[in-house]
Amino acid sequence: MAATLLPTLSPPVSRAAAAFLLLRGAPAKPFSCLRPPPTLRRFLASASSSSPATLSPALRPLSTVASSSTAARAVPARRDLLMLGIETSCDDTAAAVVRGDGEILSQVVSSQADLLARYGGVAPKMAEEAHALVIDQVVQKALDDAKLSGSDLSAVAVTVGPGLSLCLRVGVHKARQVAKSFGLPIVGVHHMEAHALVSRLVNKDLDFPFLALLISGGHNLLVLAHSLGQYVQLGTTIDDAIGEAYDKTARWLGLDMRKGGGPALEELALDGDPDAVKFRVPMRQHKDCNFSYAGLKTQVRLAIESMNLSTDDIPILSASEEDRQSRANIAASFQRVAVLHLEERCQRAVEWALKIEPSIKYFVVSGGVASNKYVRSRLNQVADYNGLQLVSPPPSLCTDNGVMIAWTGIEHFVVGRFEDPPAADEPDDMQYELRPRWPLGEEYSEGRSVARSLKTARVHPSLTSMIQGSLQK
């Protein structure tokens, strides 16, 4: 039997519907496979108003749920919501508890940096085992640090994609376990959406629509965030993401990968001359907002070979002063061009975004690579030049963390997007449907209206209709 863990990108529900009663203890219903999202959700009557007129018919409260025999409990005001967030999509096991008003009550991250350093990248089976080894402790510590028990929580949010299936499964399994034990609703979260939305926790003035650059180990995304769950993808990478290029370059330069390839390279680049090695900026002939980092990686590899640096055998700590300087020059030159590529694509994306949504005021930069100071300062200039305000979360919220999952869970939960608590008799070895490849938003290319490009794009159908709906407003 397979259960569908809901993606949260689903039809919007008015904020007016956010005040609702959550009924607990309704008769347990078995999950059916691949039911469409709205029918899996339990939308309940507004706490104060008896007319949920703002809800579309498909999203009306299910009357069967509101039986007088069920134990009903009013969901507290938003600020009193308590969301546990669990993240295991890649190489960090993370959990956090966040309150509805954005207060972070706890944040725990267990990193697999040592494994990464030893095996030269994420080995899915090994990463799965590492997650499984620590997940219970990480979640328990998040609750302990927040001075809460599971029964105090309002719901559990968990990453369901994109990511490594084996790894996602560990987090989802744990989330369902907690949710089942305490009868809590579950919110399935999109990892990249969480990177974007955590900026709204950081800056409470940040309203939709906004432009976001999301840069991590596996993704390079430029999205126009219209509203919650409604994203138009202006650009993506055609091969590697910038984080992957940082990690490979760091490894080839013999850096200490235990602190992470990106941070190690950023540090070394401070001592280098960014003009020492002439790398070509990728994709200048392509007048779009896509990215490419595979070619830059090859250029770095060739530069290292041509300089006769034996970086594979000699870690930087044992290198001669001259050798170290050459490596620093490569690091600085790589970083300059890697980030110049970001700047150029972001400049075009700002122009596109302002054409679609002239009211945009904010430019969000998030994801692991956004913790890099050079990246932040260069993209701040792009924002300034265009009269936008840059919002970039602090480094601990840019790299993978449980806070962003909990916060995104809150954002969706308060508009009624969540899944029922697992049935009491749900077997422990239940196979969940995950979303390892899950595009965030619809593709867009200049010269085609968003609505037209949506019609022809191959995407999640519910997402298409959702975005079209928003454009008709």
The residue ranges that bind Zn ion (CB under 5 A) are: 216, 400
Q: Is 217 in the site for ligand KG4 (CB under 6 A)?
A: yes
CB closer to Zn ion out of 266 and 400: 400
Least distance in angstroms from the C-beta of 74 to ligand KG4: 36
Q: Is 282 in the site for ligand KG4 (CB under 6 A)?
A: no
Least distance in angstroms from the C-beta of 117 to ligand KG4: 12
Least distance in angstroms from the C-beta of 121 to Zn ion: 15
Type of residue numbered 141: K
Cα–Cα distance measured from residue 25 to residue 27, given in angstroms and rounded to the nearest whole number: 6
Q: Is 293 in the site for ligand KG4 (CB under 6 A)?
A: no
Least distance in angstroms from the C-beta of 179 to ligand KG4: 24
Least distance in angstroms from the C-beta of 144 to Zn ion: 25
Q: Using the rule CB under 6 A, which residue among 61, 209, 235, 262 binds ligand KG4?
A: 262
- Choose among Zn ion, ligand KG4, none what residue 246 binds, the Cβ cut-off being 5 to 8 Å by kind: ligand KG4
Q: Is the dihedral of CA 42, 43, 45, 47 positive or negative?
A: positive
How many CB atoms are closer than 10 A to CB 19? 16
CB closer to ligand KG4 out of 81 and 241: 241
- Choose among ligand KG4, Zn ion, none what residue 87 binds, the Cβ cut-off being 5 to 8 Å by kind: none
For residues 65-124, which are near ligand KG4 according to CB under 6 A? Answer: 90
CB closer to Zn ion out of 189 and 454: 189
Q: Using the rule CB under 6 A, which residue among 399, 408, 453, 470 binds ligand KG4?
A: 399
For residues 355-374, which are near ligand KG4 according to CB under 6 A? Answer: 367-369, 371-372
Q: Among all residues, whose Cβ is closest to Zn ion?
A: 216
Q: Is 272 in the site for ligand KG4 (CB under 6 A)?
A: no
CB closer to ligand KG4 out of 187 and 339: 339
Least distance in angstroms from the C-beta of 399 to Zn ion: 7
- Choose among ligand KG4, Zn ion, none what residue 260 binds, the Cβ cut-off being 5 to 8 Å by kind: ligand KG4
- Choose among ligand KG4, Zn ion, none what residue 268 binds, the Cβ cut-off being 5 to 8 Å by kind: none
Q: Which stretch binds ligand KG4 (CB under 6 A): 131-139, 211-219, 284-292, 376-384?
A: 211-219
Q: Using the rule CB under 6 A, which residue among 323, 400, 442, 443 binds ligand KG4?
A: 400
Q: Which stretch binds ligand KG4 (CB under 6 A): 22-30, 35-43, 259-267, 463-471?
A: 259-267
CB closer to ligand KG4 out of 179 and 214: 214
Three state DSSP letters for the chain: CEEECCCCCCCCCCHHHHCEEEECCCCCCCCCCCCCHHHHCCCCCECCCCCCCCCCHHHCCCHHHCCCCCCEEECCCHHHCEEEEEECCCCEEEEEEEECCCCEEEEEEEECHHHHHHHCCCCHHHHHHHHHHHHHHHHHHHHHHCCCCHHHCCEEEEEEECCCHHHHHHHHHHHHHHHHHHCCCEEEEEHHHHHHHHHHHHCCCCCCCEEEEEECCCCEEEEEEEECCEEEEEECECCCCHHHHHHHHHHHCCCCHHHCHHHHHHHHHCCCCCCCCCCCCCCCCCCCCCECCHHHHHHHHHHHHHCCCCCCCCCHHHCCHHHHHHHHHHHHHHHHHHHHHHHHHHHHHHHHHHHHCCCCCEEEEECHHHHCHHHHHHHHHHHHHCCCEEECCCHHHHCCCHHHHHHHHHHHHCCCCCECCCCCCCCCCCEEECCCCCCCCEECCCCCCHHHHHHHCCCCHHHHHHHHHHHHC
Q: Is 261 in the site for ligand KG4 (CB under 6 A)?
A: yes
Least distance in angstroms from the C-beta of 197 to Zn ion: 13
Q: Which stretch binds ligand KG4 (CB under 6 A): 132-140, 148-156, 216-224, 377-385?
A: 216-224
Answer yes or no: are the C-beta atoms of 441 and 434 closer than 8 Å. no
CB closer to Zn ion out of 110 and 216: 216
Least distance in angstroms from the C-beta of 190 to Zn ion: 11
How far from each other are the two terminal CA atoms of the chain, in whole angstroms? Answer: 40
Q: Is 246 in the site for ligand KG4 (CB under 6 A)?
A: yes
Q: Burial level of 87, CB count in 10 A (0-12/13-18/19+)?
A: buried
Residues of this chain that bind ligand KG4 (CB under 6 A): 90, 216-218, 243, 246-247, 260-263, 266, 367-369, 371-372, 399-400
